[in-house]
Structure 1
Amino acid sequence: MSRRLLVVLLAALTVSTAWADEQVRRVLFIGNSLTYVNDLPNAFASLALPGTHIQVDMIASGGATLADATGNPSVSRALAEGGYTDVVLQERGGEAFCPSACQQNNAASLPAMQSARELSRRARASGARVFYLGTWQSSKETNEALEFGERAIAKASDATYIEIAKPRRKLMLTRPEMAWTHADGQHPGYATTAMMALRTWRAIFHVMPAAAPCVAGELHYHAPKPDGVLHIDTSATPRTCLVTEDAVPVLVGG
């Protein structure tokens, strides 16, 4: 074999390997009831095109904060041994709320800052990218204070921030017919879960999702596996699509 041919083959192998690495993703969601009601990780996993190699896991329990996650053995093992390429952190609703007095020191006094930074440090130490998925409040003013805190925490944690509060509130005004809130009046409705799934997909893969997010298997309201890691099975039945395909560009936004 000529030296030139060998170089070409090696180059092709390198490109092929790099492409394969790009196609294999292991994504871990760490959160709480905002994460598991309507099965956000499951909806996210459904956006993968045929032939895409992706594995999605979740660690979430009711009322859990990221501070709780820092002391959770399941989280510690997952981050150290799970081989995740991407970790999505979602704080309990309101924990990142940062009113005017808090904003003067750029949210540094928020307890939520320390736990997010610690989890992000552990995730990045294992080679994962980190994303900080936003939450929401009821009014324009509380949303602004919440997003200030979330942005500050994400920046301090070297995490990519995924905004939810402001665009969700705008869409609630322009698309009031969509299911933004669960029947309990607190948790995400189908449209909000779909929005989080779509925006998280775009943040991780830098592409517009091609389909509406659907949940494989039972739709959960209670934590499906509160004491450990839930591995998403996208082949489970039945299959529930959270929104119609025409809603996808609306929920993803610009």
Structure 2
Amino acid sequence: MRALASLLAALLCLAGCGTKAPADGKHERVLFVGNSLTYVGNLPAVFAAMANANGHAIESDMIVRGGASLTEPLKDGSIARALDGRRYAALVLQERGGDLLCGFGPESCADSSASLKAIARMAKEKGVASVVLLGTYQSMPSVSKVIVEREGAAADEAGIAYVEVSQTLQRLGGAQPALVWFDADGMHPGKDLTLLEAMLLHRQLFGALPAAQALVVDGPIYGVQSGLTGTLRAADAPAPKADTPRSIAYSADTTRSLLDALSADR
């Protein structure tokens, strides 16, 4: 797992370590595949903005649809077409919250695990340097531990890296209750959980946490009702719905408080 992360870090550093963007304007691309847990708050755009602010020239694409499992874009060929059409340095996968808990029936666990393995094989065959399973989260402490165990085991079986979210959210959420961890519906990620996930991905893919600085994300900041249909699109492409907010700003104080907590958590 560490070897994959190191390889990706080396590839991405060639494109822009130590600069805001390389002189030739070339960017490495990261593909996100997931569902509303991925697009609410537009994690792909937040991650790209954070990476660029820290000297890594990155553009994010995404294949996302509300309620979609990873099995769906695998079976309909969406992932294969995306990997055939563009060269990606990394592939970030996020499953529905209940699949690896068999929350959609006993077959959902088996389908999810099998799909992770198939996507990982496909990505490696097509030259993707790193494939990452980004974890989901559960509010009940006992269930949170189980989802982390199940997700970690599924990632290990697929031979890909795993970025744990749920137990970190349990710890940081209790310590910093004033942050916006959840959307108004109480289930989807709030803006600060999206920021936290971007930081965790930054650490996985570049080997270090980002700098404590203000961050402005220029891109649609999706809510639950996004209009997204599962087609490949750039993370900063215009939103299907005209009333979608077009940017979000994070203060230096917010990023510093999360980074301090993550640094102390290691």
Q: TM-score band, normalised by the shorter chain?
A: 0.7 to 0.9
SS at match of 2:101: coil
Q: Which residue identity does 1:43 align to in structure 2?
A: V
Is 187-196 or 42-51 further displaced after alignment? 42-51
CA distance in 2, matches of 1:28, 1:55: 9
Q: Is the 8 A contact 1:36 1:60 kept in 2?
A: yes
Q: Give the C-alpha shift of residue 50 in structure 1.
A: 7.0
Q: Is the 8 A contact 1:80 1:122 kept in 2?
A: no
CA distance in 1, matches of 2:185, 2:238: 29
Q: Is structure 2 residue 245 aligned with structure 1 residue 241? A: no
Task: Report the counterpart of residue 81 of structure 2 in structure 1.
Answer: 77
Kindly tell me: are residues 26 and 201 of structure 1, through their superposed partners in 2, closer, same or farther at Cα, counting changes over 3 Å? same
CA distance in 1, matches of 2:198, 2:56: 17
CA distance in 1, matches of 2:151, 2:183: 23
CA distance in 1, matches of 2:230, 2:74: 14
Q: Which residue identity does 2:259 align to in structure 1?
A: P
CA distance in 1, matches of 2:12, 2:205: 17
Is 51-60 or 118-127 further displaced after alignment? 51-60
Give the RMSD, CA atoms, in angstroms.
2.7
SS at match of 1:96: helix
Q: Give the C-alpha shift of residue 202 in structure 1.
A: 1.1
Q: Give the C-alpha shift of residue 241 in structure 1.
A: 2.0
Q: Deviations over 1:128-163 (max 9, x none)?
A: 110010001111110111111100111011111101
User: Aligned pairs, how many?
Assistant: 230
Alignment gaps of 5+ in structure 2: 1-10, 18-26, 240-244
CA distance in 1, matches of 2:55, 2:16: 12
Task: Report the counterpart of residue 14 of structure 2 in structure 1.
Answer: 20
Q: Which residue identity does 1:94 align to in structure 2?
A: G
Of residues 220, 223, 232 in structure 1, which corresponds to 2:222? 220
CA distance in 2, matches of 1:90, 1:114: 14
Kindly tell me: are residues 209 and 19 of structure 1, through their superposed partners in 2, closer, same or farther at Cα, counting changes over 3 Å? closer
CA distance in 1, matches of 2:12, 2:215: 28
Q: Could you say which structure has the larger radius of gyration?
A: 1
Task: Report the counterpart of residue 143 of structure 1 in structure 2.
Answer: 144
Q: Is the 8 A contact 2:99 2:112 kept in 1?
A: yes
Task: Report the counterpart of residue 97 of structure 1 in structure 2.
Answer: 101
Q: Is the 8 A contact 2:133 2:163 kept in 1?
A: yes
Task: Report the counterpart of residue 7 of structure 1 in structure 2.
Answer: none
Q: Give the C-alpha shift of residue 238 in structure 1.
A: 4.8
Percent identity, aligned pairs only?
32
Task: Report the counterpart of residue 126 of structure 1 in structure 2.
Answer: 126
Q: Which residue identity does 1:57 align to in structure 2?
A: D
Q: Describe how 1:149-164 pairs up with structure 2 within 5 A.
A: 149-164=150-165
Q: Is structure 2 residue 66 aligned with structure 1 residue 59? A: no
Alignment gaps of 5+ in structure 1: 1-16, 103-108
Q: Which residue identity does 2:62 align to in structure 1?
A: M
SS at match of 2:139: coil
Q: Deviations over 1:35-80 (max 9, x none)?
A: 0000000000111137642221111000000111211332220123
Is 145-154 or 75-84 further displaced after alignment? 75-84
Q: Deviations over 1:15-44 (max 9, x none)?
A: xx9963576421000000000000000000
CA distance in 1, matches of 2:63, 2:179: 28
Q: Is the 8 A contact 1:45 1:234 kept in 2?
A: no
Q: Which residue identity does 2:14 align to in structure 1?
A: A
Task: Report the counterpart of residue 179 of structure 1 in structure 2.
Answer: 180
CA distance in 1, matches of 2:79, 2:53: 28
Is 191-200 or 225-234 further displaced after alignment? 225-234
Kindly tell me: are residues 192 and 117 of structure 1, through their superposed partners in 2, closer, same or farther at Cα, counting changes over 3 Å? same
Q: Is the 8 A contact 1:44 1:213 kept in 2?
A: no
Task: Report the counterpart of residue 117 of structure 1 in structure 2.
Answer: 117
TM (normalized to structure 1)?
0.81
SS at match of 2:53: coil
Q: Deviations over 1:219-247 (max 9, x none)?
A: 11134532311213399995312452322
